[in-house]
Chains A and B, each alone.
Chain A
Amino acid sequence: MKCSDFLQELTNYLDGVIDDRTKAELENHLSWCHNCYVVCDTTKKTIEIYRDSELYELPEDLRSRLRSAIVSKCQGHKKVGPESV
């Protein structure tokens, strides 16, 4: 397996959606190719850092303001009946 073949399968490998045979080939490649090992490991860390980052959390005050506005508009919509779409 070449490094380019490994990269093509990287997303499936990290997501755990590959068959056992391909997985064994990828892990064999990882056992001797340091560059691919580092790319795989740091890509996994990249995903984990973003997943745990809590970027763009919705502040509670803004949250309740937005919810009130949405509910109020929905109630207004209800009074005039369903929209034809």
Chain B
Amino acid sequence: MSTIQPKVDEPVSDELALVQAAKGGDVGAFEELVKRYDRNVFRIAQHITQNREDAEDVVQEAFLKAYRNLQQFQGQSKFYTWLVRIAVNEALMKLRRRKPERTVSLDEDIKTDEDSVPREVADWSPNPEQQYNQAELREILTKTIQGLPSSFRTVFVLRDVEGLSTEETAEALELSIPAVKSRLLRARLQLRERLSRFFQKRENGIGKPKIESGDGDL
């Protein structure tokens, strides 16, 4: 079985020059950095906050904070990893405000081994995503990932959706590498388990589960 091929863009060589220019007050150079990473920051923010308005705020606040604190960026890490760290912190603050009843911390060690042990081992259809139209698929994927604890969701999004390395994810989230690996494994297994309900092999598509509206438990 082949391994996952990450979709990671190599760092652009002029990036450090843009950062240096922005440090010197060149807003145009900083705007280039915004253009380069605004889509990523928006995606990460919406995955964490699960709210479109919050994600918009996070994009603005994260870039503004990055601009104001550029002098602190020493260039030991990639600018993007440094920016993601700021954006994740902003997004978690939004999430805490919106869901104060829940503990939202990336440091908590959630015991969810039971959830991660595969129970559903039915094989999937060859092209499971083609069983559903685009809107249905989007809803399935959104609700499924929203059901993960925020600490697992964040690691999965940075590693598997955004393509950060394990080391970069650890740095951005201020976690140890073993903690990133452990959460990533659990996140992947839990998502797989939940998606199995929709994607398992069926005879002629009979028995395809409906997508529940509202806050259904996927």
> Considering the complex of A and B, which 4 residue pairs feature the smallest CB-CB distances, nearest first?
A16-B3, A56-B46, A58-B42, A11-B185
Q: Is the interface of A mostly helix, strand, loop or mixed?
A: helix
Report the interface size class on chain B: 35 or more
Looking across the interface, which residue of chain A has its beta carbon closest to that of B156?
Answer: A50
Is B192 interfacial (CB-CB < 8 Å)?
yes
The complex places the Cα of A48 from the Cα of B1 at a distance, in Å, of 14
B12-20, B52-60, B203-211 - the one binding chain A? B52-60
Distance (whole angstroms) from the CB of A75 to the closest CB of chain B: 5
For the A-B complex with A38-B121, A77-B68 known, give 8 more contacts whose Cβ atoms are closer than 8 Å: A14-B3, A14-B188, A15-B4, A16-B3, A46-B195, A49-B195, A70-B59, A82-B68
B30-38, B74-82, B89-97, B100-108 - the one binding chain A? B30-38
Report yes or no: B3 in contact with A15, Cβ–Cβ below 8 A.
yes
Report the interface size class on chain A: 35 or more
Report yes or no: A47 in contact with B60, Cβ–Cβ below 8 A.
no
Convert A35-46 into 0s and 1s, putting 1 for each residue whose CB lies closer than 8 angstroms to a CB of B: 101111111111
